[in-house]
Amino acid sequence: MESKNISVGLDIGTTKIVAMIGRKNEYDKLEILGIGRSKSLGVHRGVVNNITQTIQSIQQAVQDAETESGVTIEEVTVGIAGQHIRSLQHSDYITRSNSELVIDEDDIDRLVDQVHKLVMLPGEEIIHVLPQDYKVDGQAEIKEPIGMYGGRLEANFHVVVGQVSSIRNIGRCVKSAGLELEGITLEPLASANAVLSQEEKEAGVALIDIGGGTTDLAIFRDGIIRHTAVIPFGGNVITEDIKEGCSIIEKQAELLKIKFGSAWPGENKDNEIVSIPGLRGREPKEITLKNLSKIIHARVVEIVEQVYVEIKNYGHEEQKKKLIAGIVLTGGGSQLKHLKQLVEYITGMDTRVGYPNEHLAGDSDDEVTSPLYATAVGLVMDGLRRQEKKCLEKVEDDTHKLGECEEQESNQPKTERKSFLDKLTERVKDFLDNAE
């Protein structure tokens, strides 16, 4: 099968690494051709801490996806997350030399480039610069300044910052696994693209992606991302707690959590008991489900409360920043029983579990539509979007090729500029090439 219009998402998580191959079908929906997943051994809280093991896990996942789909993988779109990600608000302005001309893309690029010159802490790098709203000559709350007259153009930005070394390590792993980096995307953004509808993003919504090592938060309002945060706890700490609290091994704790775990302790009777085989020659252990859900409940409350602090930091309690669509939970951790009720109880916000079927083709496998794969689906979508953009740029350079991109062009706004992430990807690539 030719690899045109096919894209590969690589989700390097703390518990699993997923390689997903997808393409657009004729209805503009995403068709998944193959999935490979492997146990992630060299990643802790979203950050690579063992290069060799991570490379092996990536190769394993990629191989499985290739076998299932019959497509050879060369380029991947990688997600970046981890506890080193932080975000800040910043406003900046430029003065235009000629206010007779209307504001164009170059002006906005100049403004964005200026934000990139912000001085960060040592070892940090700006990953995303996301304009929130613009001001032209003091006139506020402008969504799209292109085509307006004005001498002073300013904007509020949401700036996402991460550690250079972590980004480079991920690049390193991908390259050493024999793959090319097609792009880098912030994982909360990828998950959001996969599970949220445009209406929700307009109305205001908080996406909480509960992974193994970290919990990612992305807040949208008026269709624009307003706040991002990564909280360094996820499903693994719950498993840890069960392991410690019940004195059992990790594998058993994980199974207990998945099969019998619940975030709401009130609902188990006192006499519901699970018996766990003891280690070699020891007595089996008996654990009451009530105790199990108490342990889980305590930790989940802690995670949800931290997320809620971030939602309040964004300003959810102000009338005009209210998140009308509430909360969407996704990621493997969102499958915990009664989690939705607990989140609603703690935050008082409407909550649903988000499945990545918003953009998937109708006949997709049940497996693909699990919240586990939200990030991977989002990364595939991102890769396809990048390809369409490249295609458009080619068209602008060479008008004869219109046919190839015609169908892709119709639903893509022309104004997509080279996003900072593309530049970041290039920088990571350059760095890796020079470091060999």
Contact criterion met (CB below 8 Å) for 172 and 154: no
Give the whole-angstrom CA distance, residue 216 versus residue 154. Answer: 29
Q: Is there a domain that residue 420 lies in? A: no
Residues 220 and 321 reside in one and the same domain: yes
Give the whole-angstrom CA distance, residue 356 versus residue 219. Answer: 17
Predicted local confidence at residue 366, as pLDDT: 81
Q: What mean pLDDT do residues 303-329 have?
A: 92
Predicted local confidence at residue 407, as pLDDT: 47
Residue linked to tokens 């209805």:
27
Residues 202 and 292 reside in one and the same domain: yes
Domain that holds residue 259: 197-357
Residues 201 and 349 reside in one and the same domain: yes
Residues 148 and 230 reside in one and the same domain: no
Residues 143 and 95 reside in one and the same domain: yes
Handedness of CA 241, 246, 249, 254 (dihedral sign): negative
What are the pLDDT digits (tens) for 319-332? Answer: 888 999 999 999 99
What is the Cβ-side half-sphere exposure of residue 18, based on CA atoms within 13 angstroms? 29
State yes or no: pLDDT of 421 exceeds 80: no
Q: What is the dihedral of CA 233, 239, 244, 250, to 10 degrees?
A: -130
Handedness of CA 285, 289, 294, 297 (dihedral sign): positive
CATH number at residue 101: 3.30.1490.110
State yes or no: pLDDT of 402 exceeds 70: no
Q: What mean pLDDT do residues 401-427 have?
A: 56
State yes or no: pLDDT of 380 exceeds 90: yes
Residues 115 and 217 reside in one and the same domain: no
Indicate the residue among 113, 142, 163 that finishes a domain: 163
Q: What mean pLDDT do residues 127-141 have?
A: 90
Residues 138 and 280 reside in one and the same domain: no
Q: Kindly report which listed range (17-26, 203-212, 276-285, 426-435) carries the lowest average pLDDT score.
A: 426-435
Give the whole-angstrom CA distance, residue 336 versus residue 295. Answer: 13
Predicted local confidence at residue 212, as pLDDT: 92
Phi then psi dihedrals of residue 165, to 5 deg: -65, -40
Of the pLDDT bands very low, low, confident and very high (cuts 50, 70, 90), residue 422 is confident
Predicted local confidence at residue 190, as pLDDT: 92
State yes or no: pLDDT of 304 exceeds 90: yes
Q: What mean pLDDT do residues 214-221 have?
A: 93
Q: Three-state SS string across 341-410, please?
A: HHHHHHHCCCEEECCCCCCECCCCCCCCCCHHHHHHHHHHHHHHHHHHHHHHHHHHHCHHHHHHHHHHHC
Contact criterion met (CB below 8 Å) for 245 and 295: yes
What angle (nearest 5°) sits at the alpha carbon of residue 159, between those of residues 8 and 172? Answer: 40
Predicted local confidence at residue 436, as pLDDT: 60
Give the whole-angstrom CA distance, residue 436 versus residue 428. Answer: 12
Q: Is there a domain that residue 141 lies in? A: yes
State yes or no: pLDDT of 259 exceeds 60: yes
Give residue 235's Cα distance to chain centre.
16
Q: Is there a domain that residue 202 lies in? A: yes
Residues 222 and 332 reside in one and the same domain: yes
Predicted local confidence at residue 401, as pLDDT: 52
Q: What mean pLDDT do residues 317-345 have?
A: 93
Residues 112 and 253 reside in one and the same domain: no
Residues 226 and 274 reside in one and the same domain: yes
Of the pLDDT bands very low, low, confident and very high (cuts 50, 70, 90), residue 357 is confident
State yes or no: pLDDT of 124 exceeds 80: yes
Predicted local confidence at residue 417, as pLDDT: 53
Handedness of CA 32, 37, 43, 49 (dihedral sign): negative
Q: Is there a domain that residue 100 lies in? A: yes
Predicted local confidence at residue 141, as pLDDT: 87
Predicted local confidence at residue 325, as pLDDT: 96
Cβ–Cβ contacts within 10 Å for residue 124, how many? 15
Of the pLDDT bands very low, low, confident and very high (cuts 50, 70, 90), residue 389 is confident
Contact criterion met (CB below 8 Å) for 10 and 135: no
Predicted local confidence at residue 243, as pLDDT: 94
CATH number at residue 227: 3.30.420.40
Give residue 23's Cα distance to chain centre.
19
Q: Is there a domain that residue 25 lies in? A: no
pTM for the model: 0.86
Q: Kindly report which listed range (120-124, 207-211, 343-347) carries the lowest average pLDDT score.
A: 120-124
What are the pLDDT digits (tens) for 75-88? Answer: 999 998 888 888 88
Residues 252 and 313 reside in one and the same domain: yes
Predicted local confidence at residue 426, as pLDDT: 79
State yes or no: pLDDT of 39 exceeds 90: yes
